[in-house]
Amino acid sequence: MRKVGALWYWRGTDQLTKEIEAGLKATGMKMRCGATPVQARLWWEKHVSPALAAAMPEDDVVGTVEELLRKYRADELPTLTREQTKQEYEGRIRRIRAAFGKIRYAKTEAQAMQLGHLSAVTITKHLHDNRNRASSANKDIQLLSRMFRLARVRWGLTTFNPCEAIEYLPEQPRDQYVSDDRYLEIYEAASPILQCMLEISTQTGAREGMIFDIRLRDFDERQIELRVTKKRNSVGYVSKVYEMTPDLWKALCRAKELRKKNRGGAASLPSDYLFITKQGNPYSKESFKSLWRVVRKKLGLAPREITFHDMRAKAASDEVSDESAKELLHHNDVKVTRRVYRRKVPVSTPLPSAIGGREKA
């Protein structure tokens, strides 16, 4: 429930209640609930409560994977601090529910040998069927495995984890390298604000989240400090400082001027975000998708043909060496940089002809 002006309104907040909301709207019903909390509660009890009861499964979920999913959502998801991480895990839970929710889990290893219980064979088949999205499928099963570990050591529901006996899908890192000519096409198709983000990413190797998180106080004529939230410390992130260059300064100043056209962008504090939407809100993953979708449509790109994250790989690939690329991306191990982000095809000079002997050349 939320109050807008003098009236209360209801909206769904998870998959089930969003479906209920869509069903009510399909009948022509408005989500206005009344002018007082009592009226709003009565409206909810009349329209939403019966729909919730009808949507709940009739069979008992105890002993099924659905039981573990519900317990994980209730006990573990609230402990996650980042909203983006919560949304990612909600998506994984939905996929696990669709694949295994109704299957019973074994209480012991001996019971796992009986038919009708979730087994490593079932999980392995699921992975094989989803090999076209290997990385995402592996992460889904890794989350399922964590649920079984919690069920064993914290909830006391089982002593058997069927995920321990499986082999995960091999993951091939992306090899898409964005050439300078291709980058120019993308840049010209992008909106002005996205052009600034592209320049920052290809020059510093910053991820989307790092760019969204830039505050006005984070940069001046000498340097820029970015927050690496993938690496956590006592304050929740590790800082990475880059020396300021003319090209990077140009992109930052342009972004600062563009923000003045948005709500609240003219009067700004040092703690305010550099990139804000027209409504004056910081950019999120969803609001950024609309910017990138325009580029894809203009250039006729398939959904995963070129991603914004490929700009980070371009920055690493265009560096002079593996070691300098590692420093640019703030990696701990150069092997990760070399295997995942160094994508440019090496160029070599052919040897002279061996006719007559190369030693004489």
> Each residue of 223-233: pLDDT tens digit?
999 998 776 66
- Packing angle between helix 285-299 and helix 192-204, nearest 10 degrees? 100
Of the CA atoms within 13 Å of residue 218, those in its CB half-sphere come to 22
The fraction of the chain above a pLDDT of 70, given in percent, is: 96
If we measure between CA atoms, which residue out of 120, 63, 129 comes closest to residue 95? Answer: 129
What H or E segment, with its residue span, contains residue 32? Answer: strand 32-34
Same domain, 131 and 260: no
Within-domain flag for 354: no
- Packing angle between helix 322-329 and helix 309-317, nearest 10 degrees? 140
| CA-based max dimension of the chain | 98
Whether the Cβ atoms of residue 337 and residue 326 lie closer than 8 Å to each other? yes
Same domain, 268 and 156: no
Contacts of residue 185, defined as CB under 8 A and 6 or more positions apart, other chains included, come to 299
Within-domain flag for 214: yes
Same domain, 215 and 289: yes
Structural domain ending residue among the three candidates 106, 138, 165: 165
Q: How far is residue 47's CA from residue 26's CA, in Å, rounded to a whole number? A: 13
Of the CA atoms within 13 Å of residue 275, those in its CB half-sphere come to 23
- Packing angle between helix 120-129 and helix 134-153, nearest 10 degrees? 160
Within-domain flag for 352: no
pLDDT tens digits along 352-361: 888 878 776 5
CATH number at residue 333: 1.10.443.10
What H or E segment, with its residue span, contains residue 89? Answer: helix 83-100
What pLDDT does residue 62 have?
A: 85
Within-domain flag for 170: no
β-strand pairing of 7-9 with 32-34: antiparallel
If we measure between CA atoms, which residue out of 343, 279, 288, 284 comes closest to residue 311? Answer: 343
Within-domain flag for 60: no
Same domain, 232 and 314: yes
Whether 49 has a pLDDT exceeding 90, the answer reads no
Q: Residue 37: which pLDDT band, with cuts at 50, 70 and 90?
A: confident
If we measure between CA atoms, which residue out of 45, 49, 55 comes closest to residue 16? Answer: 55
If we measure between CA atoms, which residue out of 199, 192, 205 comes closest to residue 327? Answer: 205
Looking at the DSSP bridge assignments, the partners of residue 227 are 239
The torsion angles phi and psi of 27, rounded to 5 degrees, stand at -85, 0
Mean of the per-residue pLDDT values of the chain: 89
| C-alpha pair distances (Å), 268 with each of 253, 257, 297, 324 | 14, 11, 33, 35
Domain total in the chain: 3
Question: What average pLDDT does the segment 311-325 reach?
Answer: 94
Same domain, 215 and 320: yes
Same domain, 50 and 199: no
Within-domain flag for 350: no
> At 180, which amino acid appears?
D
Residue carrying the six token digits 């009067």: 267
Same domain, 202 and 306: yes
What pLDDT does residue 231 have?
A: 64
Question: What average pLDDT does the segment 260-274 reach?
Answer: 90
Domain residue limits at 78: 65-165
Whether the Cβ atoms of residue 319 and residue 329 lie closer than 8 Å to each other? no
Within-domain flag for 357: no
Question: What average pLDDT does the segment 170-197 reach?
Answer: 94
What pLDDT does residue 232 have?
A: 65
Strand order in the sheet with 2-4: 2-4, 7-9, 32-34
Q: What is the pTM of this model?
A: 0.67
What pLDDT does residue 61 have?
A: 85
If we measure between CA atoms, which residue out of 311, 279, 308 comes closest to residue 292? Answer: 308
What pLDDT does residue 139 have?
A: 95
Within-domain flag for 353: no
The torsion angles phi and psi of 47, rounded to 5 degrees, stand at -105, -40
Same domain, 92 and 20: no
Whether 59 has a pLDDT exceeding 60, the answer reads no
Whether the Cβ atoms of residue 194 and residue 202 lie closer than 8 Å to each other? no
Same domain, 248 and 336: yes
Same domain, 193 and 126: no
User: CA gyration radius for the chain?
Assistant: 26
Whether 55 has a pLDDT exceeding 70, the answer reads no
If we measure between CA atoms, which residue out of 264, 220, 261 comes closest to residue 242? Answer: 220
Same domain, 300 and 218: yes
> At 342, which amino acid appears?
R
Same domain, 208 and 275: yes
